[in-house]
Structure 1
Amino acid sequence: MQAKPCRDSRVVKTSRVFPNDVNDHNTLFGGKLMSDIDMTASISATRHSRASVVTASTDSVAFLASVRPSDSVCLESFVTWTGRTSMEVFVKVTAEDLRSGDRRIAATAFLTFVAVDDAGLPTEVPPVLPESEEERRLNDSGDERAEHRRAHRRQSQEMAAYLTTSRPW
């Protein structure tokens, strides 16, 4: 398969923060932001693979700065690294104070998606071709993050083996 540039999977979504989007601290509710991150990242994965995708894991979400009702929030996502059937998607969340124009990185996230065919079976994806310095740095460190994901998944499977499904009440 021919490699695809990161720009082909880039998604940018900008929105306002409304009163129903905030928590008790009058900042953007983390769960709302995580939902938007997953939605945006899934579009990037679909653009890259041109297949149906499933979220395999939310590898990390780092909340770095609060997002206030006076801010807009911009999510930018793109595929940074690929395995045979999996894709790592990076999401950068930028908050902008709409009155002052001050911008700050509010969060970053890495998610993994698997491309699936019409039968729901994993299907191969093209490699990614990083072009910018940011894309190259994220791609170069992708193997290390993938190994960390594999180790974490093994640990999660081991833990699931001794967890109970009985009701605690």
Structure 2
Amino acid sequence: MEVGVRIMAERWNESTPAQVGSAYLVFAAVDADGKPRVVPPVIPETERDKRRYQEAQIRRTHRLARHRAIKELRDRRAAEGFED
């Protein structure tokens, strides 16, 4: 599950908050034994939800590709005798 977070701050002498940060946090569902578990899929309904769902899929694809590339590099270096 991916959750978008927006951090807002308000100066003591101003009433308009300003965005000072943002992030996407990724969570995994686990059972009582700490094993991954299946959760019902999200079904986006509005156009905004559909857009955000597609953007999340792009971020997921990039995140997994980056993870694979790092793992392959580490495996290759370990096979060549290099230690991290």
TM-score normalised by structure 2 residue count: 0.73
Structure 1 or 2: larger helix share? 2
Instruction: Looking at secondary structure, tell me which structure has more strand per residue.
Output: 1
Hey, what does 1:91 align to over in structure 2? 5
- Aligned equivalents of 1:110 and 1:151: distance in 2? 17
- Specify the alignment match of 1:159 in structure 2: 73
Distance in 2 separating the partners of 1:130 and 1:105: 26
Q: Aligned to 2:64, which of 136, 146, 150?
A: 150
Q: 2:17 maps to which residue? A: 103
In structure 1, C-alpha distance between the alignment counterparts of 2:46 and 2:29, rounded to whole Å: 25
Give the counterpart letter for 2:31 in structure 1.
Answer: D
Q: Within 2, Cα distance between the matches of 1:102 and 1:124?
A: 42
RMSD, aligned α-carbons = 2.3
Identical pairs, percent: 35
For residues 8-87 of structure 1, the aligned pairs below 5 Å read 87=1
Q: What do residues 3-50 of structure 1 show as CA deviations (whole Å, max 9, x unaligned)?
A: xxxxxxxxxxxxxxxxxxxxxxxxxxxxxxxxxxxxxxxxxxxxxxxx
Structure 1 residues 40-87: Cα deviation after superposition (integer angstroms, max 9, x where no partner): xxxxxxxxxxxxxxxxxxxxxxxxxxxxxxxxxxxxxxxxxxxxxxx1
1:116-135 correspondence to structure 2 within 5 Å = 116-130=30-44, 135=49
Which residue of 1 is the match for residue 28 of structure 2? 114
The whole-number CA distance in structure 2 between the counterparts of 1:112 and 1:147 is: 13
Between 1 and 2, higher relative CO (CA 8 Å, sep ≥ 6) is seen in 1
Higher-Rg structure is 2
1:141 to 40, 48, 55: 55
Which runs of at least 4 in structure 1 moved beyond 6 Å after TM superposition? none
In 2 relative to 1, CA 122–151 (structure 1 residues): closer, same or farther, beyond 3 Å?
same
Deviation at 1:136, TM superposition (A): 4.2
Aligned mates of 1:139, 1:89 — CA distance in 2: 11
